[in-house]
Amino acid sequence: MATSGNKSFLAAAVLCFALSMGVLGYWQYAGGAMVTQYQVAVTVSTEDEFGDVIESTVMQDQFQFGLLPDKGYDAALPWVVGFDLIGVVLLFMYLRSRR
């Protein structure tokens, strides 16, 4: 028979899985980039004094949330794995407490 303490393991596990899905949803909403980027290449067109159009690529500072980390904490994958591992441990604790 499940007690309220046992149900809290289940509720916490469901919360961890929901947070994991939320992080993946935000990653997809932010563009679904594979690697976190801090600079983005932007093509700039300028016209010189002779009327010729010159295109150059300039790196602009812009954070883009990615799946794989550059520093270890700024990407979706470490957060998803962490929430999922905590959720699995809590689910295991819930199932063990039901015996």
Residue 51: DSSP 8-state: S
Tokens of 40: 């983005």
Residue 31: DSSP 8-state: T
**CB-hemisphere CA count at 13 Å for 53?**
4
Give SS3 for 66.
Answer: strand
Give SS3 for 43.
Answer: strand
Residue 2: pLDDT above 70? no
Show me where the domains of the chain are located.
Answer: 4-97
**CB-hemisphere CA count at 13 Å for 39?**
6
> Structure pTM?
0.71
Q: What is the pLDDT of residues 25-78, one digit of tens each?
A: 998 888 888 888 888 888 888 888 888 888 888 888 887 888 887 776 778 888
